Chains A and B, each alone.
Chain A
Amino acid sequence: QPAWALAIHGGAGTITKESMTPELEQQYQEKLDEALQAGSEILKNGGTSLDAVCAAINVMEDSPLFNAGKGAVFTAEGINEMDASIMNGENLMAGAVAGVKRIKNPILAARAVMEKSPHVMLMGDGAEKFAQDQGIELVDSSYFFTENRWNSYLKAREKASKENFG
């Protein structure tokens, strides 16, 4: 039985070898490995599972490869709206944020809701105000923009427009 363990995911979907270039595949592998190393470094040194979860997710939130944080997809209105949650298995405490647009790392805000408020979920402007009060970094919404996601948004908008007009 291992003394500690960590598993991560970066999303599921229509991910095939045909849709991936070797370079992009390499980027994903390296970033996932970086996330594993960030979390495992904490666990190996006796840190908590909560710290490890946040460290691993922060790596993926900061990467434009994944649909969270920088690299989040766009809504129909062309903005980024992010959600996150966290739960502690020791005491069943939980925290979440929904519909936030300026929190750089939403998982840290979810943790702050869990640990520093009597609530489980905060949403929108209130969640952002709370995060700011807790010293969590807020960024301009342009931080989340990536060309790749914007192009996906434009394609989806075009498809929706064609569907609307038959």
Chain B
Amino acid sequence: TCGAVALDKHGNLAAGTSTGGMTYKMKGRVGDSPIIGAGTYADNNGCAISATGHGEFFIRNVVAFQINALMKYKDLSLDEAARYMIFEVLKPIGGEGGVIALDTLGNISMPFNTAGMYRGTITSDKNAEVKIYGDE
């Protein structure tokens, strides 16, 4: 799976996700990537999210939407909301994966509960940074 979230100069957020699914998946199986609210979500009043991981868990827990909702309705910060879903909701039930999250202030959060996640960031005031492993 791959994905991107962006904030432009006009203050607009967008999120996208694209995937080939799981190796040896059953024909017709669909994961979270094309499900709005599960693997992808964007709301200028909250955040933009793209997820990667075990899709069934992300669908059942509506992960991308929930991160946005925790920010909008419970006033959590972007990082608090994203980490809560990945570590407090998904991890205890065996839902492996991660998200990239971005808000309209340009805050970025990229929590994951697996050994690694291919990821990168760049902003108008920070150079490109690419990371792979969990301990980076």
A residues at B contact (CB < 8 Å): 1-17, 20, 25, 28-29, 32-33, 35-37, 39-40, 43-44, 46-50, 52-54, 56-57, 60-61, 66-69, 71-77, 79-90, 92, 94, 96-99, 105-107, 110-111, 120-121, 123, 144, 149, 152-153, 156-157, 160
Q: Is the CB of A67 within 8 A of B16?
A: no
Task: Determine the chain A residues whose CB is within 8 A of the CB of B121 once the complex forms.
Answer: 5-8, 36
User: Shortest 6 CB-CB distances between A and B: which pairs?
Assistant: A72-B20, A15-B116, A89-B13, A10-B118, A89-B42, A12-B117
Q: How far is B2's CA from A71's CA once the two chains are assembled, in angstroms?
A: 11
Q: Is the CB of B124 within 8 A of A44?
A: yes
* Interface residues contributed by chain B, number (CB under 8 Å): 73
Identify whether the interface residues of B are mostly helix, strand, loop, or mixed.
Answer: strand
The verdict on B28 contacting chain A, using a C-beta distance below 8 Å, is yes
| CB neighbors of A among B93-119 (8 A) | 96-102, 105-106, 108, 110, 112, 114-119
The closest CB in chain A to the CB of B41 belongs to A87
Most buried by A among B2, B108, B118: B2
Task: Determine the chain B residues whose CB is within 8 A of the CB of A75 once the complex forms.
Answer: 21, 24-27, 29
Beyond A12-B96, A57-B3, 15 extra complex contacts between A and B, CB < 8 Å: A6-B7, A8-B2, A11-B118, A12-B53, A13-B96, A13-B114, A15-B118, A29-B130, A35-B2, A46-B9, A68-B19, A72-B20, A79-B27, A94-B36, A121-B34
